[in-house]
């Protein structure tokens, strides 16, 4: 790698300040975050594909698609502001306007995101009070980024952030990010939010292209429970504060920047799955030898989202038949007579099927492979050269407990 990991998150790049405060939207903890760029930043975004979209998603998509520079992002947790009608749309604009007035920019330079319970109006007095306090506490320190990353969490059990730095024509360029997500996570976006900042100089259309490409292989290749959300959003801001030359597709540093940006998204996406509600295991599924990339993706996603597969991993049961059955209903084209399946982990590795022939294996040995918290599944086909990798988790009793009383 031509880049390296550094401490911090969204405030690691130059020219970004952040804050996270407790406004009382949630019963306890930080719940309002504000992120501000010192100069106008180009912005790229991808949003939920759910037809039911929360007010902040509709609003922020409009801002991003207008292709204008932005200066800030405001996020509240504890309330999704989804399915809240005209009042929800008005509350989103009021929140953006409040931030804009506090930092001296136009309302349409502020992006808005929300996460939490659906169908409940925002407690605007608390939200606006939280915005006031957050804007007073803005800082470019690493702690400020950590507080912001904490404030966007809902059922998350830990904050998710990362940062990397690379060299662009002798100048250091940094990319930092924070994300939230634990439940309602499914390929094609989910109840997750991700915010990435960089001090690189880059055109918005190229940044959007890189984000879309990376999202397909990261956020859209994870699943916790098969449920998608109304509030999904990934935003990337680039403010040029590093003073490095503009990154273009013909730049010597383009490939490094692309890989570094992808690394940030992949790290955040895997952290989301690792923190899946009630999860005890992170499961990585790789398909090689597929007829097409689309087929490879379909196979990976179907295996990851199978409740029978997920519960087998929770029970540490090497029930490879469930994997093959899931593959068969994926809609992908493959030859079942040439399928091989293997598991591996820090506990060892085990071949379960080779060229469609079941292999004899020791159940105790398989148990050792499935006991660690991270497990790799390799599915080998003989239909082509396409490959895909995705990440999921097991399904436990704790998931039911968490979601059985989420509102109450």
Q: Which residues are part of the catalytic machinery? A: 191
For the record, the structure tokens of 161 come out as 């952030």
Buried b (16+ CB within 10 A) or exposed e, 333-349: ebeeeebbbbbbbebee
Quote the CA–CA distance of 146 and 301 in Å, as a whole number: 32
Which helix (H) or strand (E) is 154 found in, with range?
A: none
Quote the CA–CA distance of 159 and 166 in Å, as a whole number: 24
Quote the CA–CA distance of 53 and 96 in Å, as a whole number: 18
Q: Which of 77, 63, 261 is nearest to 175 (CA)?
A: 261
For the record, the structure tokens of 314 come out as 């929770």
Quote the CA–CA distance of 116 and 152 in Å, as a whole number: 10
Q: Which of 67, 337, 9, 96 is nearest to 206 (CA)?
A: 67
Quote the CA–CA distance of 135 and 142 in Å, as a whole number: 16
> Residue length, the chain?
408
Cβ atoms of 42 and 15 within 8 Å: the answer is: no
Cβ neighbours, 10 Å, residue 204: 17
């Amino acid at each position: 790698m031509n880049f390296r990991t550094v401490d911090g998150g969204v405030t690691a790049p130059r020219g970004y300040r952040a804050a996270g405060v407790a406004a009382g939207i949630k019963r306890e903890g930080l719940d309002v975050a504000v992120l501000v760029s010192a100069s106008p930043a180009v912005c790229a975004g991808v949003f939920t594909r759910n037809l039911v979209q929360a007010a902040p998603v509709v609003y922020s998509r409009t801002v991003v698609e207008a292709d204008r520079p932005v200066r800030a992002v405001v996020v509240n947790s504890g309330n999704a502001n989804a399915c809240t009608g005209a009042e929800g749309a008005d509350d989103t604009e009021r929140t953006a306007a409040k931030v804009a007035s506090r930092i001296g920019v136009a309302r349409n330079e502020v992006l808005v995101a929300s996460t939490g319970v659906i169908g409940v109006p925002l407690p605007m007095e608390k939200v606006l009070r939280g915005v006031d306090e957050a804007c007073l506490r803005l800082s470019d320190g690493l702690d400020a980024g950590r507080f912001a990353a904490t404030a966007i969490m809902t059922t998350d059990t830990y904050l998710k952030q990362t940062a990397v730095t690379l060299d662009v024509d002798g100048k250091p360029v940094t990319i930092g990010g924070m994300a939230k997500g634990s439940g309602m996570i499914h390929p094609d976006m989910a109840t997750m939010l991700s915010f990435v900042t960089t001090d690189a100089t880059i055109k918005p259309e190229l940044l959007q292209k890189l984000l879309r490409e990376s999202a397909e292989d990261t956020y859209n290749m994870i699943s916790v429970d098969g449920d998608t959300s109304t509030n999904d959003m990934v935003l990337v801001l680039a403010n040029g504060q590093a003073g490095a030359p503009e990154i273009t597709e013909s730049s010597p540093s383009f490939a490094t920047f692309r890989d570094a940006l992808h690394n940030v998204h992949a790290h955040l996406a895997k952290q989301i799955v690792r923190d899946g509600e009630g999860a005890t295991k992170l499961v990585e599924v790789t398909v090689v030898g597929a007829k097409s990339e689309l087929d490879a993706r379909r196979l990976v996603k179907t295996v990851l989202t199978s409740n029978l597969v997920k519960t087998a991993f929770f029970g540490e049961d090497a029930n490879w038949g469930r994997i093959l059955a899931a593959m068969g209903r994926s809609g992908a084209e493959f030859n079942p007579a040439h399928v091989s399946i293997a598991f591996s982990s820090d506990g060892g590795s085990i071949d379960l099927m080779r060229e469609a022939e079941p292999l004899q294996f020791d159940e105790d040995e398989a148990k050792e492979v499935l006991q660690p918290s991270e497990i790799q599944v390799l599915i080998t086909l003989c239909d082509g050269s396409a490959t895909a990798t995705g990440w999921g988790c097991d399904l436990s009793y704790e998931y039911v407990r968490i979601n059985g009383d989420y509102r109450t």
